[in-house]
């Protein structure tokens, strides 16, 4: 019914609002290094008596998919559970710890070394992964998030990432790239990428000489990215609000382009229909408010790191690279990861 970010940090609150969340300004008493999630949730409930069920999503678990949350909400709202928490199946053999100085041997905890079996033949064990905890108000008011009629929700291993230490960051980033959320419909192969020229293919800056000639700069990596897309059978088309036909001619890009466009979404729809594509087969890279509706409509959407906030909010992927500095190449790599996922699903 409502999405809240609990924080004592003004900048985090600002970003949360940009992406459509409401902000609960957490008090200093529950903002200490030693503060628990339960304390923050309890404080929130004290200010929001209309809330009956809380789904606590951990910020340190970025690979959580919306489809998982929908199923968990149903377990509480439709099947009558009081609390539901996330787990992941692990295939790890455990041994007892022997502390330094103790005169004893380690002992197996969950295996028989005399009849050791292959881990892939073993069903494994369920562990909490910290992605989320759902609970009804009456449990939280008693001081716990798990209790009453309990259920666990088993998440897929590739979606189960908990950022605790520095090394977890690159692992999480790769998981998001490889298994990111692509929507409810079955994945389809991307066949068309439409890219906004100014601010994506270029950095958006226009240099004007004394004799009124315009100059722009672009990153050669982006040109390579476009060539790689074409070699994979993906059409690349370019679009711009302004008349930049001379720029395109100078760049010698062999791409269909539409310039001086007043309605980008209509052009995108025309291209999609002419090619006989579903929206899931269309990718769009934009950076301005004029690109927002296209970003929302395309099956796969991205923006450079320096795109406006409205475009970032509408996009499914935000590049690390800025416009004109490798963003097109980076988004192309993101598309290739999707294609690998599609091909893997087909083989299975």
Domain boundaries, the chain: 52-164, 192-346
Fold category of 192-346 in CATH: Rossmann fold (3.40.50)
Query: What does the block give as tokens for 269?
Result: 């729809």
Work out the percent of the chain whose per-residue pLDDT is above 90: 56
CA–CA dist 183, 160 (Å, integer): 18
Instruction: State yes or no: pLDDT of 181 exceeds 60.
Output: no
Whether 116 is a known active-site residue: answer yes
Instruction: State yes or no: pLDDT of 182 exceeds 50.
Output: no
- Per-residue model confidence (pLDDT) at position 243: 84
Q: Find the range with the poorest average confidence among 61-70, 296-305, 312-321.
A: 61-70
Mean pLDDT (the chain) is 88
- Per-residue model confidence (pLDDT) at position 11: 93
pLDDT tens column, 249-271: 767 778 898 998 999 999 999 99
Q: Find the range with the poorest average confidence among 176-180, 316-320, 331-335.
A: 176-180
| φ/ψ (deg, to 5) at 223 | -65, -40
CA–CA dist 181, 317 (Å, integer): 10
Residues 116, 156, 205, 242: which is the catalytic one?
A: 116
- Per-residue model confidence (pLDDT) at position 184: 40
- Per-residue model confidence (pLDDT) at position 177: 65
| φ/ψ (deg, to 5) at 16 | -60, -45
Question: CATH number of the domain at 52-164, out of 3.30.300.30, 3.40.50.80, 3.90.550.10, 3.40.50.150?
Answer: 3.90.550.10
Average pLDDT of the residues in 182-199: 75
């Amino acid at each position: 019914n409502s999405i809240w970010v609990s924080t004592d940090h003004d900048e985090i609150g600002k970003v949360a609002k940009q992406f459509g969340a409401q902000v609960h300004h957490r008090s200093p008493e529950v903002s200490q290094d030693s503060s628990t999630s339960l304390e923050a949730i309890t404080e929130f409930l004290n200010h929001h008596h209309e809330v009956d069920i809380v789904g606590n999503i951990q910020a340190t678990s970025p690979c959580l998919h919306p489809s998982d949350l929908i199923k968990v909400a149903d377990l509480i709202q439709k099947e009558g559970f009081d609390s539901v928490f996330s787990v992941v199946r692990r295939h790890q053999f455990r041994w007892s710890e022997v502390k330094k100085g103790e005169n004893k041997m380690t002992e197996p905890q969950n295996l028989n070394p005399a009849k050791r079996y292959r881990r892939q033949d073993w069903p494994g064990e369920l562990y909490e992964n910290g992605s989320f905890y759902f609970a009804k108000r009456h449990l939280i008011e008693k001081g716990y998030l798990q209790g009453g009629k309990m259920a666990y929700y088993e998440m897929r291993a590739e979606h189960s990432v908990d950022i605790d230490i520095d090394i977890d960051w690159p692992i999480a980033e790769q998981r998001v790239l490889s298994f990111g959320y692509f929507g409810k419909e079955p994945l389809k192969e991307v066949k068309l990428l439409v890219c906004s020229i100014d601010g994506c293919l270029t950095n958006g800056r226009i240099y004007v000489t004394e004799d009124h000639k315009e100059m722009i700069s672009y990153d050669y990596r982006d040109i390579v990215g476009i060539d790689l897309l074409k070699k994979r059978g993906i059409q690349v088309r370019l679009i711009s609000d302004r008349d930049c036909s001379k720029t395109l001619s100078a760049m010698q890009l062999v791409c269909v382009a539409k310039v001086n466009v007043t309605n980008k979404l209509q052009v995108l729809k025309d291209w999609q229909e002419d090619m006989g594509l579903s929206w899931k087969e269309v990718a769009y890279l934009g950076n301005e408010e004029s690109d927002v509706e296209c970003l929302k409509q395309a099956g796969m959407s991205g923006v450079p790191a320096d795109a406006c906030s409205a475009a970032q909010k509408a996009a499914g992927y935000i590049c690390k690279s800025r416009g004109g500095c490798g963003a097109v190449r980076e988004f192309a790599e993101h598309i290739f990861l999707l294609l690998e996922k599609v091909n893997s699903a087909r083989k299975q």
